[in-house]
Structure 1
Amino acid sequence: MCNSITKKFKSIPISTHQHSVHKKNLDVEKGISYFTPQKKIIHIETPIDTSTFEVSDAFYHNFGFYHILILQIKDKNRNDRIRNNSKKFILKGDFNIDDISPNYDTPSLDNIEILHVITYNSDIPYTPKTFPFTPEEAGGGVIVVGP
C-alpha cells in the first residue's frame, strides 16, 4: 500500500462547476487534473459518490509511447460500484511521482506529454492480469502538462 499517496488525498464536496465538468464518477478531466514534470508533481481530481473513499495504491506502466498511471481507490465502508451514481464529492490530491513504488516500471514524467490515468474502484489488488477493467469499476482520462 502506498501510504504516502493515501495521505495526500482528501474528499471535498463537489461544486456546481465541478459537477458540470466531470462526466461520471472516477473520470479525470484534462486541465483539471494535470502533471508538472519539472516538479515531478501529479494533481488528480476525480468525482466520487461518498466522502469515505481513499487511494489505496498507485501503479505506473511505461509502454514507451504510452504511459499509464493507475490509482486504485476504495470506499472504507463498502464495496459497491459507483460509476453511474450521483457525483457528490471530489477525491483530490497532489503527489510526487517518486511516491509511487516501482512495482512494474520505474515511474517518470521525463519527456512525456500525455499521461493516461485509470481510477480503479476495487478491493481486489491490482496486477497486470486484472486488465481489462470493466466500465462499472473504472474510469479515467488523459492528462497533460499543467501549471
Structure 2
Amino acid sequence: MKRHVLVDNVYIINISNSSACICGESGHIDAYTRALAVQRQVPVFFEDEGNYEDYSIFSRFIPGWQLPSEVELDIINEYKTIHVECLDVTATASSSVVQLGSNDTMELESRVKAIRHFITDAPQELKDYVGVIVRQSP
C-alpha cells in the first residue's frame, strides 16, 4: 500500500552539499560529496593544488551495507497517511537526507580532507594580511 505524507509545517534554515529534504516516497537517493578544506595561517594558495587524486581518502573503498538474507517482515500500515505536525531542521550538509515517508534505497557518501598549515616563524605583516595570495607552484 502506498502511503501519503501530510506535513503541516516545515522550517529549514539550510540545505547544502548534496543534501535533500523529501516529503513522500522516493525510489533511490544517491548523494555524493567530496571536499578539501585548506586552512593556513598565511593565506597563500597555489593554482595547481586541490586535486582529489592527490589524496587517498577520496579513492579508498567504502564497504556497502550487507542485507541479511531471508528476513521475514510483516508491515501493517493502519493508516494511509503519515502525519507530521511540525518539522524544524537547523541544517543538513554533506550528503544527508531529511525524509518523511518511505525509501527503497539510499547510498550516501561524504569525504572531507582537512589540511591545516600553521607557520610560527612568518613575519607579522604576513600573519596579519587579510587578502589571499595566489602563487604558481615552484
Superposition TM-score, scaled by structure 1 size:
0.22
Point out which structure has higher relative CO (alpha carbons under 8 A, 6+ apart): 2
Q: Which has the higher strand share?
A: 2
- Structure 1 or 2, whichever has the larger Rg, is 2
